């Protein structure tokens, strides 16, 4: 039996593939490579432990490959929160329609388990922080968050209607090697263009939880091994947070730059759909016995060092 990882050539997906191969699993990656890179899993392809099917989930030609799979890790998505406020259509299609098509292929081919990567943004601007999984009402403020909430609902319905099991993970900001988007990538690009001035979106006081990608993958496997309800929902994040200005400070220090001026675009939000304060309660996962080894600050430093090493 093999596992399918959609989006397995992307940032989190490629780390997940590393871990599955290390566990001795055979892996089929389905990725359109619109953001992912073949290089990230090349070693596993060469060793025969992973296969890559270069397909867009919105087109056909991949569904039959689900035959005989034990679990689909569905990570393929359009993860750009900011862009989803400018051009909602790709977010809607790559998140909701693609997830529906994955679920249909699972139903038709009898694949019993799905792992889904959701997000803290399903909570919107939560009044309870750290925000637990049973927080209500869900009021996403980004199109991205809304699409992920819709996917969660669809997956839940498929589990109850067709006897599947799901693990749905609401991630804080996941960072680390191979990441192609997010605040660290954005700052490195800007400092590459101008090492004397850094534009920071908003007032720099947006304060959020960050977790290093290996910890995130570890938490996913842990939850999957310890929770066996039809629908298992877990927050995954660190237990503290860090503001955007401090992330800039760590980056400037690691790049050994001096005299960098910060230019804030102003306002409490970095962009339309931004959630300026986010920290997730991870008590549900801790009650099962998992806890992160790293906090947000350490995660940021590791991710910054990894990103600079990749330059
Ligand atoms: P990523 O962009 O690196 O990975 C997404 C992958 O999906 C890419 O390899 C891309 O090529 C592929 N893909 C996109 N649309 C596709 C389609 N229609 N068909 C086939 N492949 C397609 O992003 P990531 O940060 O690794 O995110 C992985 C998952 O985790 C996503 O579902 C994202 O929404 C979720 N998530 C990420 C974070 C984070 O902080 N990185 C936070 C919350 C949730």
**Sequence ranges of the chain with CATH classification 3.40.50.720:** 2-174+212-236
For residue 77, the CA-to-ligand 1 centroid distance in Å is 4
In the block, residue with structure tokens 């929902």: 233
In the block, residue with structure tokens 């939560």: 126
Report, in angstroms and rounded to the nearest whole number, the Rg of the chain calculated over CA atoms: 19
- Looking at 3.40.47.10, 1.10.1040.10, 3.90.25.10, 3.30.1360.10, the CATH number of the domain 179-209+240-309 comes to 3.90.25.10
For residue 258, the CA-to-ligand 1 centroid distance in Å is 35
Q: Tell me how far CA of residue 307 lies from CA of 13, 194, 213, 248, 293, in angstroms.
A: 17, 18, 13, 14, 20
Phi, psi of 60 (to 5 degrees): -100, 180
pTM > 0.95: yes
Q: Cβ(85)–Cβ(273) under 8 Å?
A: yes
**Sequence ranges of the chain with CATH classification 3.90.25.10:** 179-209+240-309
In the block, residue with structure tokens 């995130």: 216
Mean pLDDT for each consecutive 10-residue tract of the chain (311 residues)? 98 98 98 98 98 98 98 98 96 98 98 98 98 98 98 98 98 97 96 97 97 98 97 98 98 97 96 96 98 98 98 90
* Rounded-to-integer distance, Cα 17 and Cα 52, Å: 11
Q: Is the CB of 9 under 6 A from ligand 1?
A: yes
Ligand 1 atom with the smallest distance to the CA of 121 is: 43
């Amino acid at each position: 039996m093999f596992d399918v990882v959609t989006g397995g050539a992307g940032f989190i997906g490629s780390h997940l593939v590393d871990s599955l191969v290390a566990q001795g699993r055979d892996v089929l990656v389905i990725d359109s490579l619109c953001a992912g890179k073949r290089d990230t899993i090349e070693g596993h392809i060469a060793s025969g432990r992973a296969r890559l099917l270069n397909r867009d989930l919105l087109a056909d030609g991949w569904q039959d490959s689900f035959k005989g799979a034990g679990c689909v890790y569905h990570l393929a998505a359009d993860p750009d929160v900011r862009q989803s406020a400018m051009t909602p259509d790709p977010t809607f299609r790559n998140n909701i329609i693609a997830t529906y098509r994955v679920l249909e292929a699972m139903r038709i081919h009898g694949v019993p388990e799905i792992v889904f990567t959701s997000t803290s943004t399903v909570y919107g601007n939560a009044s309870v922080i750290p925000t637990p999984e049973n927080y209500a009402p869900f009021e996403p403020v980004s199109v991205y968050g809304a699409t992920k909430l819709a996917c969660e609902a669809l997956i839940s319905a498929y589990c109850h209607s067709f006897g599947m099991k799901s693990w749905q993970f609401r991630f804080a900001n996941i960072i680390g090697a191979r990441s192609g988007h997010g605040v660290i990538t954005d700052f490195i690009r800007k400092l590459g263009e101008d090492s004397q001035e850094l534009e920071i979106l908003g007032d720099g006081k947006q304060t959020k939880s960050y977790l290093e990608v290996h910890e995130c993958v570890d938490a996913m496997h842990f939850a999957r091994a310890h929770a066996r309800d039809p629908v298992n929902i877990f927050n995954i994040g660190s237990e503290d947070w860090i503001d955007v200005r401090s992330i800039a400070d760590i980056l400037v220090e690691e790049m050994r730059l001096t005299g960098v001026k910060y230019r804030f675009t102003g306002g409490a939000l970095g962009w339309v759909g931004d959630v300026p304060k986010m920290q997730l309660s991870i008590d549900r996962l801790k009650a099962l016995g998992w806890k992160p080894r790293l906090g947000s600050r350490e995660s940021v430093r590791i991710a910054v060092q990894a990103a600079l090493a990749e330059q």
